[in-house]
Amino acid sequence: MAPEIISGGNPFGTHRVLEPHGVLPQPAEKLDNDFSRIWDNEILIDVEFLNIDSASFTQIRAEQADDNDRISRRIEEIVTTRGKMHNPVTGSGGMLIGTVAFIGERLKDTCPLTVGEPIITLVSLSLTPLRIDRILQLKKDTDQLRITGQAVLFANSLYARLPDDLPATLALAVLDVCGAPAQTARIVASGQTVAIIGAGGKSGVLCAWEAKKRAGSTGRVIGIEYSDTAVELLQSLAICDEVIRLDARDALQCHERLSALTGGRLADVVINCVNIPHTELSSIMMCRERGLVYFFSMATSFTSAALGAEGIGRDIDMLIGNGYAKGHADLALNILRESPAIRQLYERLYT
C-alpha cells in the first residue's frame, strides 16, 4: 500500500520527533518510525545493512554476554523503543546501506538520486528514523547486521552513492568512520609527531595512513595498540614509524612510554580511535603543551577530558570527533585505492 504523503516537514527532521517536543532528532528520546506516512521532503530507504558504531556494538556485546540472539534482541529493542538505533549507554548509532524507495516531491528538483538506487547514509543512525522488520544475519566481527526494514532521510541528511569498485559492506565499514581520516588530514602538519591510540582499528588504520602522508619524511607516526595481535597487524602494514603495545587506560604508563620515545617532547597531535572508555587522560598526558588531542572515539567522556586536563594543568587544545568533514567520503575511499595493503586487509575483514 502506498504511503500517505504529508506536507510541511522540517528540513532538520523535527517533525519526526515524538519525545521530547522541540528538540532535534539526534538528542530526541523517541522518533516516529511509522512509514505508512511520508513527508514530501523525505527520502524513504529500504534498508539492507546496518553498521553499528564500534563503541556501541562493543558495549552491547559485553552487556549481552557476547550471545548472538541476545545482541540481536537488544538492537531490536533499542530500535523499537526509540524509533532509531541510538544506544542509550554510548549515545552513538552507526550507518546503513539501502535502496531508495521514495523521494518526496519537494526534493525532486534538488536530489540527484533515483528510486531503486543503492546508497550509504552518512548521518548517524542515532538521528535516523528506522524500523527493523527482521534481522537476517549478525556479523559480530564487523559490527554489521543484514536486515529487512526501512528508514528515512531528511532534506539536510547526507548520503553517498555506492562506489563501483568496492564491495558494499566494505564501503559501509569505511564510510562509517570517514570523518576520522578527513579530520586527520586537516590537523596534521609536516614534521609533526603524531600518536594514534587504537591505530590498528578500522578508523585508526585510515588515520595512520593519512597522518603519515601529512607528517611526511620529517614527521613521526607512533601507533598504539593493546594486544600483541593488533601490534603485529599494524607492523605488517608499515604505516607507522613505531608501533608500541600499551593499555590506553593506564595514563601514567602511556605518558612515561611516549616521553621516553620522544626525549620528553611528547606528541604534537594525539588521535584517539579506541572503542572503550577511560582513555581520556592517557590521550592528554601523551600530548605536549599547546598540542592537540583529537577524540574521534564515541566512548569518550568529554567531562573527563576537560576536567582531567584541568586537573593536571595541561594546556592543550581538544577536538571533538565530528563525523562530517567536507569531502570525507571520497578521502576515506581513496585511501583503499592508494594502499593495496589496507584494501586487502579491509576486504578480508569486511566482505
Q: What is the pLDDT of residues 30-42, one digit of tens each?
A: 999 999 999 999 9
The separation between CA 329 and the C-alpha centre of its own chain, rounded to angstroms, equals: 12
CATH 3.40.50.720 intervals, the chain: 179-350
Number of H helices, E strands in the chain: 11, 16
Q: Is the pLDDT of residue 78 over 80?
A: yes
Q: Where are the alpha helices (DSSP H) in the chain?
A: 54-63, 68-82, 168-175, 179-187, 202-215, 228-237, 251-261, 280-285, 302-311, 328-338, 340-350
Say how many Å lie between the first and final Cα of the chain, rounded.
35
Return the amino acid letter for 303. T
> What does the pLDDT read at residue 24?
97
How far apart are alpha carbons 347 and 351 in whole angstroms? 5
Going by pLDDT thresholds of 50, 70 and 90, the confidence category of residue 108 is confident
Q: Could you give the angle at which helices 228-237 and 202-215 cross, rounded to 10 degrees? A: 40
pLDDT at 264 over 80: yes
Question: The C-alpha cell of 16 is what?
Answer: 519526526
Could you give the CA distance from residue 220 to residue 243 in angstroms, rounded to a whole number?
Answer: 11
What digits encode the pLDDT tens for the residues 198-251? 999 999 999 999 999 999 999 999 999 999 999 999 999 999 999 999 999 999
CA distance 31 to 14: 9
149 vs 22 pLDDT, higher one: 149
Mean pLDDT on 30-59? 96
pLDDT at 2 over 90: no
Grid look-up 576537560 returns 306
Q: Report the alpha-carbon distance of residue 134 to residue 329 in Å, rounded.
A: 29
Give the per-residue pLDDT at 297: 87
Question: Is 179-350 in CATH node 3.40.50.300?
Answer: no
Confirm if 313 and 291 have CB atoms less than 8 A apart. no
Residue 321: pLDDT band (50, 70, 90) is: confident
Mean pLDDT of 181-192: 98
**pTM, full prediction:** 0.90
- The DSSP line for 149-171 is EEEEE-TT--EEEPPTTS-HHHH
The span from the CA of 269 to the CA of 210, in Å, is: 13
Provide the pLDDT confidence category of residue 3 given band limits of 50, 70 and 90: confident
**Which residue, chain included where needed, has cell 526494514?**
149
Q: Annotate 36-50 with three-state secondary structure.
A: CEEECCCEEEEEEEE
**Residues comprising the chain, all counted:** 351
Torsion angles phi and psi, residue 73, rounded to 5: -65, -40
Which residue is listed with cell 607512533? 222
Which 3 state secondary structure label does DSSP give 1? coil
Task: Output the pLDDT for position 329.
Answer: 95
Average pLDDT over residues 165-193: 96
CA distance 38 to 120: 20
Round to whole Å and give the CA distance between 300 and 280: 7
Question: How far is 330 from 51, CA to CA, in rounded Å?
Answer: 19
Burial of 94 by CB count in 10 Å (0-12 exposed, 13-18 middle, 19+ buried)? buried
Tell me what the mean pLDDT of segment 305-318 comes to: 96
The answer, yes or no, to whether residue 58 has pLDDT greater than 90, is: yes
CB-CB contact of 329 with 175 (8 Å): yes
Q: What is the pLDDT of residue 322?
A: 84
CA 322 to the chain's CA centroid: 9
Q: How far apart are CA 292 and CA 267, in angstroms?
A: 9
